Chain A
């Protein structure tokens, strides 16, 4: 589904990603862990198509297509979804209006008839249950004045509505209390499907207790320095990232098939 090969990227002249390799198949859940500033969000943003990043080498293929050449809206309509680490506040646009525009853009793209306001609303109200949201939530302006937990739940709500094939969740667990974490992770688990892949960026093992990953990667200073199974996350939780720095250079850029 997603093949990233030797991806190198710069921000404002500074080299951030230094050769990322990552292969994600349909149905898999990959966790990416790593210290602050290692480039996790940069990778996620580049995959979603955010401007301001200069890709200097490598490629990213999504279902065989060159992802990096597509406009962000086209990526989304083809099934790529990014749950933002820092969701953006948009005053004056309700969640309902926002998701109506998004859903219908996707339907138009797939040659399906657009849904009217009533149809959208009943679909949105149904999806609210995924993240245990009251339907009144839909009337509020996008992320405007939301608590941290509400913002993250709103991201998962959008994922439930848009039904992507590749979901990248950037620290969707950060700043959540245990109840909110349970709700968010529950929502994600309900959305796991054999034809859907997820890349979950997190600092904490605790999320992975809820969302069992198939593969765990450690991103450090712009490189994936170690990959393994779920047990790798436990080791990291116990001993931190420090022990990895002592690993021989040969351990870099491990890709998992």
Chain B
């Protein structure tokens, strides 16, 4: 029994908070879900917050989260600054199919869902489906992300009340992206939101999902998100994550994906906001002939801490993965890139490539980059590399020698570094927004 220091953290608070809200969570009377939630809070209670001694958390201390007494955020009407933010997001041309979640709860009045034909694409709120019995959810919900492996996933499983459910039936190609927008609101006490997404794509589908996280500036709040994504056989799925939380926010999120044979999955992760951020992206290549691409860009300034942990689990033969993450670090910020690649014994003829490139804009900024290869098959190709550098002074001089002021020249070079990642996003309004956001945030960081 360990009683001394550990009980001082807010673990106890979350446990009693869970007892308080448990009966009000959607689906609380469904036996299967009740069991999942009980097991999850038990797992969190036993394990507590991860510590720096743990392999997966060595570079990121979650002490600031553990020290804060969060209440489970409540469904609320939406007002204030976040309203303007939302208008701008909506103006981005992503309104064709947009589901908005305020503090993790579906806000139908802010969402725009097109008329969908019977038997085709299905989008909606988990809470509504759970209240209606939740049969379609039972086989998938909380079946991919592992509560035992990550205590924050367990917290989400224990607390989630709502989130998006998307089902793309076999042989359906969507010609618009599905935009999932998570908004945090200001509250008197620090609040924690637990949005949960379940995205299921069947065989031979084509779809793009965008998950955007936004929140109020200077407010201390916690987004603890989990998204589960099933990529069907021969499906072509892209996923864009835009993390733009407020500058005092905590954001800990897991995207857990499983790919079926011959599928192609591309992830684009952009992390720009938040004070303490941890993104886990876990992909299981669970079939032959799978292709996976992980693109990432994180930029931090001031005292921001952004941690990207990715896991590519090659489970079957003939899989190929390409990973490129870029970091731009300014101020006294800290970035972490940890790219784990597992090649299982079965996964012969795997071809994996991982690259992490970092641009350090200040002497105090710090990047911790680490590849982690665990290879159990013998006939595989696995390459990895990482670079850390400042702005190229020759390039800077070249631009200045043509009359371009030094500030503009720096911004052009930083944007150029980011452009490679932005250019890969398949949705034009998102690319345009990113091109605006990256230099804008940099100017703030100057």
Contacts and interface: CB of A to CB of B under 8 A. Distances in A.
A92 B402 contact: no
Contacts of A87: 398
A73 B413 contact: no
Contacts, number: 78
Nearest to B418: A92
Interface in A80-119: 81-82, 84, 87-93, 97-99, 101-102, 105-106, 109
A72 interface: yes
Q: In the complex, which range does the number of interface residues on chain B fall in?
A: 20 to 34
Given A84-B398, A88-B394, A162 B403 contact: yes
Contact of A50 (B392, B397, B413, B419): B397
B403 A48 contact: no
Nearest to A50: B397
B397 A102 contact: no
A112 to B, nearest CB: 13
B195 to A, nearest CB: 34
Interface string A27-56: 000000000000000000000111100000
B419 A92 contact: yes
A88 B398 contact: yes
Contacts of B409: 73
B404 interface: yes
Interface string B375-411: 0000000000000000011110111111111101100
Contact of B403 (A76, A88, A89, A97): A76
B395 A73 contact: no
Contacts of B417: 92
A106 B403 CA distance: 6
A73 B413 CA distance: 16
Contact of A51 (B393, B398, B404, B416): B393
A102 B403 contact: yes
Interface string A145-167: 00000000000001000100000
Contact of A91 (B394, B404, B406, B416): B416
A217 interface: no
B415 A72 contact: no
Nearest to A141: B416
A89 B412 CA distance: 14
Residue with the highest number of chain A CB atoms closer than 10 Å, among B392, B401, B405, B412: B401
B46 interface: no
Contact of A72 (B394, B395, B400): B400
B398 to A, nearest CB: 4
Contacts of A92: 415-417, 419-420
B393 A93 contact: no
B405 to A, nearest CB: 5
A77 interface: yes
Contacts of A88: 392, 394-395, 397-398
Nearest to A52: B393
B415 A162 contact: no
A231 interface: no
A83 B395 CA distance: 14
Interface string B66-92: 000000000000000000000000000
Contact of A93 (B403, B406, B412): B412
Residue with the highest number of chain A CB atoms closer than 10 Å, among B394, B403, B415, B417: B403
B408 A90 contact: no
A237 interface: no
A71 interface: yes
A196 to B, nearest CB: 16
B406 to A, nearest CB: 7
A93 B420 CA distance: 10
Contacts of B420: 91-92
B403 A77 contact: yes
A125 B392 CA distance: 29
Nearest to B411: A101
A142 B401 CA distance: 14
Residue with the highest number of chain B CB atoms closer than 10 Å, among A71, A90, A106, A142: A90
Interface of B: 392-395, 397-406, 408-409, 412-413, 415-417, 419-420
11 contacts: A51-B397, A72-B397, A72-B400, A75-B401, A77-B403, A93-B416, A97-B412, A98-B402, A98-B404, A105-B408, A162-B402
5 closest A-B pairs by beta carbon, nearest first, are A92-B416, A76-B403, A102-B402, A88-B398, A72-B400
Given A81-B401, A84-B401, A105-B405, 19 more contacts: A49-B397, A71-B400, A73-B405, A82-B401, A88-B397, A89-B395, A90-B395, A90-B398, A90-B416, A93-B412, A93-B413, A98-B399, A98-B402, A98-B404, A101-B399, A105-B402, A106-B403, A162-B402, A162-B403
